Structure 1
Amino acid sequence: MSSKTRIGPAILITAAFIGPGTVITASLAGTNFGYSLLWALLFSVIATIILQEMAARLGVITGQGLGENLRQTFQHPFSRGITTVLVIAAIVIGNSAYQGGNISGATLGLSAVFDAPRSTNKSTFNWWALVIGVIAFFIMWRGQYRIIERAMILLVGTMSLAFLITFVMTKPDLGELMSGLLIPQIPTGATLTVIALIGTTVVPYNLFLHADTVSQKWQHSDQLPQARKDLFISIPIGGLISIAILSTGAAAFFGQQITLNSVADLSPALQPLFGQWAKIFMALGLFAAGISSAITAPLAAAYALCGILGLPKQLAAIKFKVIWICILVIGVVIASTGFKPVTIIWFAQVANGILLPIICGYLLWIMNQPLLSTYRNNWWQNLCGIVILIITLILSTRSLMLAFGMI
């Protein structure tokens, strides 16, 4: 393989965490609190880079994904059983819930952008969900990683252009933007928004997805610098998109008594500033966000489950396809048949709350094992990982307490 740096597996990670949920969360953060929460996005991007670098290093050095390494590391039936249950319950079932949320967010936004009629009849079928599901199905069905990778590069590029152009057109205050990035503060009532901004970026299933896809593209330790360069290009792109979305909300809506209840409200609210261009930019951004999330979530679930159960992980393998098809179908059904999202969101919140610190702990433990030889974590990588673990544990505890109505 040429030593030339190319965008590769890390672009899937960017595509995974920049979904409709991120668009909603970042937009509302900017609308309600201005630029003051940009630091939370900056922290999230740094934390994502640190954890994903560990996952990438694990994939390159061992030639296996995180699920396989967990299976081989925990040989005792009890510890392996607990690990398997956690991965299946939280990653696979949790991904189904998030898949429904991603597609629902994308279809809601697209319906508003394209002026699709919205019926109050709960039995009305949402055809946008089916369209997104079908496109995602055909991209993944080919069973060729290069096709998926190129599709993600195209979609992330589309998102970048759409949201960055919107960002420039709103003419943000650069002084306030830099202050928000570098000076941490939590305005009154912003605690849950901070948790949401971090939670929408530091995604646990991305650790499985990254380790597996990296192990397929790079198999030798001398290729580790290529994997790192790929990471240091792709993840900051995602961070810039998130920052652009939040800053757009801050510049366009903060302090103007405009209420945004969902991403569907963004396009009409931006039209006084941009005219019909707002509709075009938001349509492109939301469509790309919806499709990319619809691809990466089922793919990550398939990698995680196949790895932990010892099943074939080739994209063309029937069992691999069956898993991601199930996740995709469940997501489309949730998004298209009018189910109330309350129970789904509750379960997804609980699953993510349980999974995130546990997977961080598993990753840190594995990254200090002899199987990595000289590529084990050094002291500062462990220190950074422990700090992230503690923060995610605090956030997860808060999420669980909210989910169970304790706060």
Structure 2
Amino acid sequence: MQRVTETSLLLQNSILNQYTQSAEQNISGERLIEAEIDTGEIEKIFSWRKLWKYTGPGFLMSIAYLDPGNLEADLQSGAVAGYSLLWLLLIAHIAGQLIQSLSARLGVVTGKHLAQSIRQYYSRPVTIVFWIITEIAIIGADIQEIVGTSIALKIIFGIPLWMGTLLSAMDTITFMLLQNYGMRKLEALFMVLISTMAICFWVEMFMSSPDVGEIIKGTLTPIVPRNAFVEAVAIIGAFIMPHNLYLHSALVMTRRTHNASNAKIKEANFYFSLESGIALFFSYLINMAIVTVFAKVFYSPNEDKPLPGLYDAASVLTKSLGDASRYLWALGLLAAGSSSTITGTLAGQYIIEGFFGKIFKNPGHRVFITRSIALIPSMFVAVYSVNDFDNMGEILNVLQSLCLPTALIPLMKLTNSKLVMGKSFKTNNFWKYISWIIVLIIIGTNLLLFLDYLNKMPNLFLGYICGGIYFVFIIYITFLPIKEEMRDPLKLNGD
């Protein structure tokens, strides 16, 4: 009897060891970025040195708040409403900070980014729909980034727009080369690009001599002018990008925190949240500068003028501020387009391998194929629409808004789940309700934007059919419970 018991225990231990090894291999096999940065031992007091070790993922994430689509939303809100929508710009960044912190928290606690977690806790058909919608969102963002870069190249060098769209594909080659030098080098590049945007747009703001009192009033007074409703909705819809939630949850895994103690995970959550807040604060200052400039040089409440786009903005600035402002605008736009194209490349890798597993053995093949899925259709659309980008930009903002809930809702459900996050790290009730309120406001705002655009469609019946199917799916995933799977035995979440 004793031998039978010993044999049984040995068999159980063997099975457990095999499962543990399998889980370890699965985690390492799915991890797309090596945890190459050691954050050191836990420190009980705040440390600037420790913050520096965690600094990087938030700044890469913040690029999505500074892409050409957001810059166009900024300049048009300033052109239509003056300083009146600055308060909404601030609230959009605060809401973005909460959502992005949840995204980072998911990656730190589970050791899996959002795409991997969706694959684990949702059925295969739902996962595939999520992936298709996310790829559509990336294509939409790519079009804005490619056209934004080509406009900047035309302003600076006089290159035709169609040729600029083709040259923008070189960003992918640049990214492939930079990946070989490590994540810290890539993060340093993005900080340089963000600094370039900050310098260019803030110099323009000081050149325009804005009214400081009106800036303070616009930041503190929550009003939306009647003629600026679409621009207000665009500010909310354009800032949080669907693919950015996947990106941020993956980037935090470049720091060695997974399978650590609860104290280490809490430290990582704190510093990543703080770093994200700092990055988004800089993003807010840059976006605010653009709104302020065009509120000063273009806004006229008693005059009905066609709104400037990304290319027209250079002419508007030149008339008011001189030739130098034209090139400052173009240089900042070039930095925005190039940086957001590279983060789109990075996000594309996480998304496709997260949803379908590690299907590429060669890193070069992974970058080329995952990028081509979004880049090739983006290039075709960008080339054909580049001369009518203002109308295309409105369509793309609506597209991004419609894709966003399919990333937000799974993120909320996963981070609110004790099954996924553990008892110690699931979102507490207060922040759960706050985050869901924000999500519902975003979805409701996006619905208004969609309905406004729907009335402009040539085939209204087809629009209502497609819109109805889409919103039925959104309601379905809102109430769809996540799958109850065996907990990862390697996780130490204190439950």
TM-score (norm 2): 0.74
Determine which of 95, 111, 124 is the counterpart of 1:80.
124
Q: Equivalent residue of 2:51, what SS?
A: coil
Alignment-derived partner of residue 322 in structure 1: 369
Which amino acid counterpart does residue 156 of structure 2 have in structure 1?
A: F
Q: Is the counterpart of residue 16 in structure 1 residue 64 in structure 2?
A: yes
Offset at residue 312 of structure 1 (A):
5.8
Alignment of 1:16-95 (within 5 A): 16-74=64-122, 79-86=123-130, 88-95=131-138
* Aligned pairs, number: 395
Determine which of 379, 382, 386 is the counterpart of 2:432.
382
Alignment-derived partner of residue 8 in structure 2: none
Offset at residue 149 of structure 1 (A):
2.0
Checking the alignment, whether the CA contact within 8 Å between 2:171 and 2:342 is kept in structure 1 is no
CA distance in 1, matches of 2:88, 2:176: 33
* Structure possessing the higher relative contact order (Cα contacts under 8 Å, 6 or more residues apart): 1
Q: Equivalent residue of 2:346, what SS?
A: helix
Q: Is the counterpart of residue 392 in structure 1 residue 442 in structure 2?
A: yes
Alignment-derived partner of residue 294 in structure 1: 341
Offset at residue 355 of structure 1 (A):
2.7
Q: Equivalent residue of 1:231, what SS?
A: helix
Percent identity, aligned pairs only, is 26
Which amino acid counterpart does residue 215 of structure 2 have in structure 1?
A: L
Alignment-derived partner of residue 357 in structure 2: 310
Checking the alignment, whether the CA contact within 8 Å between 2:57 and 2:252 is kept in structure 1 is yes
CA distance in 2, matches of 1:343, 1:97: 13
Q: Is the counterpart of residue 116 in structure 1 residue 158 in structure 2?
A: yes
Alignment-derived partner of residue 215 in structure 2: 177
Alignment-derived partner of residue 122 in structure 1: none
CA distance in 1, matches of 2:69, 2:412: 28
Which amino acid counterpart does residue 267 of structure 1 have in structure 2?
A: A
Which amino acid counterpart does residue 389 of structure 1 have in structure 2?
A: V
Alignment-derived partner of residue 299 in structure 2: 254
Report the CA distance shift for 1:277/1:232 in structure 2 as closer, same or farther (over 3 A). same
CA RMSD of aligned residues (A): 2.6
Offset at residue 15 of structure 1 (A):
1.2
Alignment-derived partner of residue 285 in structure 1: 332
CA distance in 2, matches of 1:117, 1:224: 45
Report the CA distance shift for 1:393/1:337 in structure 2 as closer, same or farther (over 3 A). closer
Checking the alignment, whether the CA contact within 8 Å between 1:170 and 1:248 is kept in structure 2 is yes
CA distance in 1, matches of 2:253, 2:361: 12
Q: Is the counterpart of residue 168 in structure 1 residue 206 in structure 2?
A: yes
Report the CA distance shift for 1:190/1:240 in structure 2 as closer, same or farther (over 3 A). same
Checking the alignment, whether the CA contact within 8 Å between 2:415 and 2:427 is kept in structure 1 is yes
Which amino acid counterpart does residue 335 of structure 2 have in structure 1?
A: A
Determine which of 89, 104, 128 is the counterpart of 2:147.
104
CA distance in 2, matches of 1:350, 1:278: 30
CA distance in 2, matches of 1:110, 1:250: 25
Offset at residue 244 of structure 1 (A):
0.8
Checking the alignment, whether the CA contact within 8 Å between 2:78 and 2:291 is kept in structure 1 is yes
Checking the alignment, whether the CA contact within 8 Å between 2:57 and 2:248 is kept in structure 1 is yes
Greater CA deviation, 380-389 or 238-247?
380-389
Q: Equivalent residue of 2:275, what SS?
A: helix
Checking the alignment, whether the CA contact within 8 Å between 1:136 and 1:291 is kept in structure 2 is no
CA distance in 2, matches of 1:226, 1:201: 23
Q: Equivalent residue of 1:189, what SS?
A: helix
For each residue in 1:297-351, what CA deviation from the matched residue of structure 2 results, as whole angstroms up to 9, or x when unmatched? 2322321221122236999363354102332343334323557669976874564
CA distance in 2, matches of 1:268, 1:59: 44
Q: Is the counterpart of residue 276 in structure 1 residue 290 in structure 2?
A: no
Q: Is the counterpart of residue 237 in structure 1 residue 237 in structure 2?
A: no
CA distance in 2, matches of 1:348, 1:23: 14
CA distance in 1, matches of 2:198, 2:272: 22
Alignment-derived partner of residue 228 in structure 2: 190
Offset at residue 81 of structure 1 (A):
1.4
Offset at residue 296 of structure 1 (A):
1.6
Which amino acid counterpart does residue 443 of structure 2 have in structure 1?
A: L
Offset at residue 153 of structure 1 (A):
1.3
Q: Is the counterpart of residue 372 in structure 1 residue 421 in structure 2?
A: yes
Checking the alignment, whether the CA contact within 8 Å between 1:252 and 1:270 is kept in structure 2 is yes
Checking the alignment, whether the CA contact within 8 Å between 2:145 and 2:337 is kept in structure 1 is yes
CA distance in 2, matches of 1:315, 1:189: 52
Which amino acid counterpart does residue 361 of structure 1 have in structure 2?
A: I
Checking the alignment, whether the CA contact within 8 Å between 1:349 and 1:400 is kept in structure 2 is no
Which amino acid counterpart does residue 433 of structure 2 have in structure 1?
A: L
Structure 1, unpaired ranges of 5+: 119-124
Alignment-derived partner of residue 121 in structure 1: none
Alignment-derived partner of residue 11 in structure 2: none
Alignment-derived partner of residue 310 in structure 2: 263
Checking the alignment, whether the CA contact within 8 Å between 2:309 and 2:390 is kept in structure 1 is no
Which amino acid counterpart does residue 53 of structure 1 have in structure 2?
A: S
Alignment-derived partner of residue 24 in structure 2: none
CA distance in 2, matches of 1:314, 1:354: 34
CA distance in 1, matches of 2:409, 2:241: 14
Checking the alignment, whether the CA contact within 8 Å between 1:95 and 1:298 is kept in structure 2 is no
Which amino acid counterpart does residue 12 of structure 1 have in structure 2?
A: L
TM-score (norm 1): 0.88
CA distance in 1, matches of 2:294, 2:241: 23
CA distance in 2, matches of 1:131, 1:381: 44
Report the CA distance shift for 1:114/1:319 in structure 2 as closer, same or farther (over 3 A). closer
Report the CA distance shift for 1:160/1:68 in structure 2 as closer, same or farther (over 3 A). same
Checking the alignment, whether the CA contact within 8 Å between 2:139 and 2:374 is kept in structure 1 is yes
Determine which of 122, 129, 154 is the counterpart of 2:165.
129
CA distance in 2, matches of 1:218, 1:243: 35
Checking the alignment, whether the CA contact within 8 Å between 1:145 and 1:315 is kept in structure 2 is no
For each residue in 1:159-190, what CA deviation from the matched residue of structure 2 results, as whole angstroms up to 9, or x when unmatched? 11111111122121111111111211111121
Checking the alignment, whether the CA contact within 8 Å between 2:176 and 2:364 is kept in structure 1 is no
Q: Equivalent residue of 2:257, what SS?
A: coil
CA distance in 2, matches of 1:274, 1:348: 30
Report the CA distance shift for 1:312/1:385 in structure 2 as closer, same or farther (over 3 A). farther
Alignment of 1:134-149 (within 5 A): 134-143=170-179, 144-149=182-187
CA distance in 2, matches of 1:195, 1:218: 39
Q: Equivalent residue of 2:168, what SS?
A: helix
Q: Which has the larger radius of gyration?
A: 2
For each residue in 1:23-73, what CA deviation from the matched residue of structure 2 results, as whole angstroms up to 9, or x when unmatched? 211111111110001111111101110000000111111111001111112
